[in-house]
Structure 1
Amino acid sequence: MSRSALIVIDMLNTYGHPDAEILIPSVREALPHVVGLIERARDGGVPVIHVNDNFGEWRSHHGEIIEKTMAGPHSDLVEPVLPDADSLFVVKARHSIFYETPLNYLLSQLDVGHVVLCGQVTEQCVLYSALDGHVRHLRVTVPDDAVAHIHKDLAEASLGMMERNMNASVQQARTVEFTLGAS
């Protein structure tokens, strides 16, 4: 049986984009659930993989992304979800965590067949990543209280699409079960 991985999407954020003020309240609501998932995954030996935008800075690496987001005015939203020494990090340039990234290869190397997607934005990056996970024959779980949205109505519709069209398990973070797979 293949194992689970927790994918933390775009939580390292400067919140300097046009929709930030609409997004931030939802991030504040989701943050404790994201933190809880990260803690449970770390404690259980489940890989935690941060997949994050590079903000169009093609020479940046994860350390610079962390520095930039921690120097911003909303570092309180970033600090609780910072990668630790065991976390993996993948830089993405577009909405899907899979598009033009090494994530699919990384998951196969880790024998991951189940991804738990948390982070932001439900109706954008999470939705497109769930679809890409589904077409790659991964089992997808989306904790609806651990994803943040810009537009609540679109987020609700997106979660419905993930569940119906992509066979994703949409549930609360506290009910997510990680699989360790064969040792």
Structure 2
Amino acid sequence: MEFQLKSPERTALLVIDMENDFVHPEAPMCVPMATDAVPNIRKLIDKCRESGAAVIYTTHVHGRGRGDMGLMSSFWPPINDQEALVDNTPGIEIYPDLEPQDGELVIKKHRYSAFYNTDLEIQLRNRGIDTLIITGTVTNMCCESTARDAQFRDYKVIFVSDATGTMDHPDLGAGAMSAEEVQKATLTSLSFCIAEVASTGDVLERLNTLS
């Protein structure tokens, strides 16, 4: 399956949670594979801006009052201890190499999916966007959740295989998996019935036709 990019006005690049607390090498929740993906994401951002396609960012945040934390605190000690993803701190700002331009949307979210309790959908609908290119981190959490929610809403989803990243998973009852294994399993699952999986190079070639 391959989704055609029909026009820049109907296309948006989603840059999921490429914030300092996930991307900076010394951050408490650093995802090394996401850090490695920065150059590819940068290429896609530059090409989308050149072609006129929208670039939309998300950043995962939680307030100091903890009222928006829910079960996130049960799974992530740095979130529970407010060592990371704290709203209005440098950690939730987009990594400098990928920083938004004036006028580009930055959507704050409190759960994995960028659609959950945010205005992402209304922003997309009002712009006439029907095709989403998904990049960012974490592949099998925020990126996958967003891709699935997008497909449920009938958006065409292109999930970029080498512009997303995850981390090693320890054995918590189902066995351990390396980041590479988790990445492959997630991409395989998504490609079956949720999204087109494509490389940065493939997507850049298609974006070139919109320039």
Scaled to the shorter chain, the TM-score interval is 0.7 to 0.9
**Counterpart residue number, 1:86:** 103
Match of 2:111, SS state, is coil
- Tell me how far apart the structure 2 counterparts of residues 99 and 79 of structure 1 sit (CA, whole Å): 26
Q: Compute the TM-score of the two structures, normalised by the length of structure 1.
A: 0.81
Q: How far 1:165 moved relative to its partner?
A: 2.1
1:116 equivalent to 2:144? Answer no
Q: 3-state SS of the aligned residue for 2:95?
A: helix
Match of 1:74 in 2: none
For the pair shown, the structure with the greater C-alpha radius of gyration is: 2
> Once the 2 structures are TM-superposed, how far is the Cα of residue 56 of structure 1 from its aligned partner?
3.5
Residues 37-116 of structure 1 aligned to structure 2 (within 5 Å):
37-57=44-64, 68-69=90-91, 78-116=95-133
What are the equivalent positions in structure 2 for 1:12-51 lying under 5 Å apart? 12-15=19-22, 16-17=27-28, 19-20=29-30, 23-24=31-32, 26-51=33-58
Secondary structure at 2:142 match in 1 = helix
Return the alpha-carbon distance in structure 1 between the equivalents of residues 60 and 92 of structure 2: 15
Aligned partners of 1:173, 1:90: CA distance in 2, in Å? 23
Distance 2:197 2:46 in 1: 20
Deviations 1:60-95 (A, max 9, x none): xxxx96861389xxxxx9111111113111111000
Unaligned stretches of 5+ in structure 2? 1-5, 66-85, 168-178
Match of 2:13 in 1: 6
The runs of at least 4 aligned residues of structure 1 exceeding 2 Å deviation read 55-58, 64-67, 177-180
SS at match of 1:144: strand
**Identity score, percent:** 27
Whose RCO is larger (CA < 8 A, sep 6+)? 1
SS at structure 1 position matched to 2:20: coil
| 1:98–1:162 Cα change, 3 Å | same
Shift of 1:114: 0.2
Distance 1:81 1:66 in 2: 18
Unaligned runs of 5+ in 1: 59-63, 72-76
After superposition, the CA RMSD in angstroms is 2.5
